[in-house]
């Protein structure tokens, strides 16, 4: 396996890692207002408990997105240039959503005013919905095809990005993230918050199953597959069906594990069906960007490979240690009025 193929695989792994880890963060952000809503919507302690399930984790998980973008920039500069210039406005929207999420975590707990907290909760919800939707459109468009000219310049507009398959990919990633997040909340909370999380998971998981099955079928056709699904597509179908059944049976560990497999299979399916292209041109197949015509020189890839082999295991070890340290469940009782004096909670 050459360096070019290695880096394409590594980029696929980075995007998969981002959605597996940040996926439940995004799901928590989407659902915190619903799952933590108890007592007629006045139970702010429940919302704080839900948010604090990801409090020590969310910023580390977002690093995967930065690394994935940086890897594309370094390993496939032509891909980066065409993708980020053509999707400039979409990237600005994505950046705004990420900023809204990050700021909401920090500022929501700075005041006891109900309007203040509702505002930042809304920012967290909207930002968490937009991130997987916008990234999904961008990734889906890579396979569906965009108007790219002979010089690898994007020839469309902002609205050209809303290809039906791209939009479906955004909907799919948003739905899977919601199911992933609901299962994570149930794993990390107690009492009534946990019960509300399971009720939410029981409603979201069947809808997610239908969306994922439809998306995998569409992807298989879009990529020009044969009469049968490949192994990764089939694994994704089995995992999402099993996740829906596990959610109905209140099997929190199994549900979270199966939504993890589902989201991983979906992202890997996209990159597997895209290869050897990195961006398909709807203008002419000859203008498509491939792993070969968009890659950096061999020496650059060689140096990057050495750096990745040394540093990536250290990063993974640190992140695993972080999850181990913050493995305990979070209870809404920690955030009742008698505990309001405890600082550092959002």
Domain boundaries, the chain: 3-94+128-332
Residue 254 in this model has a pLDDT that exceeds 70: yes
pLDDT score recorded for residue 41: 54
* Stated pTM of the model: 0.92
Q: CA 127, CA 108: separation in Å to the nearest integer?
A: 14
pLDDT score recorded for residue 225: 82
pLDDT score recorded for residue 241: 97
pLDDT score recorded for residue 114: 85
pLDDT score recorded for residue 227: 83
Mean pLDDT of 241-263: 94
Mean pLDDT of 185-196: 92
Cα dihedral 156, 126, 15, 262, rounded to 10, equals: -110
Residue 204 in this model has a pLDDT that exceeds 70: yes
Residue 339 in this model has a pLDDT that exceeds 70: no
Residue 293: band (very low, low, confident or very high) from pLDDT cuts 50, 70, 90: very high
pLDDT score recorded for residue 344: 42
Please answer whether residues 229 and 220 qualify as being in contact, where contact means their C-beta atoms are separated by less than 8 angstroms. Answer: yes
Phi, psi of 340 (to 5 degrees): -60, -25
pLDDT score recorded for residue 346: 55
Mean pLDDT of 273-280: 96
Residue 342 in this model has a pLDDT that exceeds 90: no
Residue 89: band (very low, low, confident or very high) from pLDDT cuts 50, 70, 90: very high
Mean pLDDT of 136-154: 95
Mean pLDDT computed over every residue of the chain = 92
| pLDDT tens figures, 99-140 | 999 999 989 888 888 889 999 999 999 999 999 999 999 999
Mean pLDDT of 309-316: 92
Better pLDDT: 226 or 54: 54
Name the burial class of residue 17, with classes exposed (0-12), middle (13-18) and buried (19+) by CB atoms within 10 angstroms of its CB: buried
Mean pLDDT of 321-339: 83
Residue 1 in this model has a pLDDT that exceeds 80: no
- Quickly count: other Cβ atoms within 10 Å of residue 68's Cβ: 21
pLDDT score recorded for residue 42: 60
Query: How many CA atoms, within 13 angstroms, populate the side-chain half-sphere of residue 146?
Result: 31
Mean pLDDT of 310-324: 92
Residue 40: band (very low, low, confident or very high) from pLDDT cuts 50, 70, 90: low
The dihedral built from the CA positions of residue 95, 100, 101 and 105, taken in this order, carries a sign that is: positive
Residue 70 in this model has a pLDDT that exceeds 50: yes
Q: Which of 133, 28, 121, 7 is nearest to 71 (CA)?
A: 7
Residue whose structure tokens are 């829906």: 244
């Amino acid at each position: 396996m050459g360096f070019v193929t290695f880096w394409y695989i590594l980029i696929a792994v980075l995007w998969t890692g981002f959605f597996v880890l940040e996926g439940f963060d995004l799901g928590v952000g989407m659902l915190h207002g619903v799952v933590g809503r108890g007592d007629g919507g006045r139970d702010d302690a429940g919302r704080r408990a839900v948010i604090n399930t990801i409090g020590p984790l969310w910023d580390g998980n977002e690093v995967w997105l930065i690394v994935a973008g940086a890897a594309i920039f370094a390993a496939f500069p032509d891909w980066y240039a065409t993708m980020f210039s053509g999707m400039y406005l979409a990237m600005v929207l994505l950046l705004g959503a990420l900023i809204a999420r990050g700021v909401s975590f920090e500022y929501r707990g700075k005041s006891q005013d109900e309007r203040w907290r509702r505002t930042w909760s809304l920012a967290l919800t909207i930002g968490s919905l937009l991130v997987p939707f916008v990234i999904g459109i961008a990734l889906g468009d890579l396979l569906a095809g965009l108007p790219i000219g002979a010089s690898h310049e994007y020839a469309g507009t902002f609205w050209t990005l809303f290809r039906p398959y791209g939009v479906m990919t955004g909907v799919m990633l948003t739905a899977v993230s919601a199911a992933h997040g609901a299962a994570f909340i149930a794993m990390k909370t107690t009492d009534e918050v946990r019960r509300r999380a399971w009720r939410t998971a029981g409603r979201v998981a069947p809808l997610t199953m239908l969306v994922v099955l439809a998306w995998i079928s569409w992807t298989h056709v879009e990529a020009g597959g044969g009469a049968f699904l490949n192994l990764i597509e089939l694994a994704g179908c089995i995992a999402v069906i099993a996740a829906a059944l596990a959610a109905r049976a209140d099997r929190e560990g199994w549900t979270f594990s199966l939504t993890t497999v589902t989201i991983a299979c979906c992202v890997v399916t996209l990159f597997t069906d895209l290869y050897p292209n990195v961006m398909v041109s709807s203008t002419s197949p000859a203008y498509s960007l491939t792993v070969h015509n968009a890659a950096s020189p061999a020496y650059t890839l060689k140096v990057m490979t050495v750096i990745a082999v040394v540093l990536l295991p250290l990063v993974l070890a640190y992140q695993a240690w972080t999850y181990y340290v913050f493995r305990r469940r979070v209870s809404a009782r920690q955030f009742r009025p008698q505990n309001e004096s405890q600082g550092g909670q959002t």
